[in-house]
Amino acid sequence: MTDEATTGGDRADTGVDPRLADRGIGELAEKMGMVITELTAERAVGTIPVEGNRQPVGLLHGGAYVVLAESLGSMAANVHAGPGRYAVGIELNASHSRSATSGVVTGTCTALHLGNTLTTHEIVLTDDRGRRCSTVRITNMIRDAR
């Protein structure tokens, strides 16, 4: 699987989920260099580089952690929603516990609840050394497509 395919660059078969090829990952995620390596309703994994996403003091911007986490949680919720339905985020919280200054940050999203109308996922974000940098929880509401 190539980086270009997983970021939706050429909308080719991603080997992850066919809807990712159709929808892409979104403009912000693309600008941040996000790569999605795994995507199911139960689990999603993705990365962003620290370089290019730092705040002025050299640390990965807290919002960058949240963008990666929300993207993973929302994509997983949309996989769960299935055809003719879509998921929208209704609540998100983040606790940052460490700062990354270089390398790549990996987000691992795990389903906590997969219901008919709501999903909740926890996303753990780690640095290159496997140290937890941030923990995020997102709840998505599932709606019927109009």
Is 114 a member of any domain?
A: yes
Q: How far is CA 103 from the centre of its chain?
A: 18
Residue 6 lies in a domain: no
Q: Dump pLDDT digits (tens) for 91-112.
A: 999 999 999 999 999 999 999 9
Q: Which of 27, 30, 38, 70 does the annotation list as catalytic? A: 70
What is the number of structural domains in the chain?
A: 1
CA 76 distance to own-chain centroid: 8
pTM of the entire structure? 0.88
Residues spanned by the domain of 90: 36-144
**Higher per-residue pLDDT: 3 or 85:** 85
User: pLDDT tens digit string along 17-73?
Assistant: 666 667 788 899 999 999 999 999 999 999 999 999 999 999 999 999 999 999 999
Q: Is residue 46 part of a domain?
A: yes
| 30 has catalytic annotation | no
Non-local (6+) Cβ contacts of 44 within 8 A are: 36, 38, 72, 73, 75, 76, 107, 108, 109, 121
Classify residue 85: in a domain, yes or no.
Answer: yes
Task: Identify the CATH number of the domain in which residue 42 sits.
Answer: 3.10.129.10
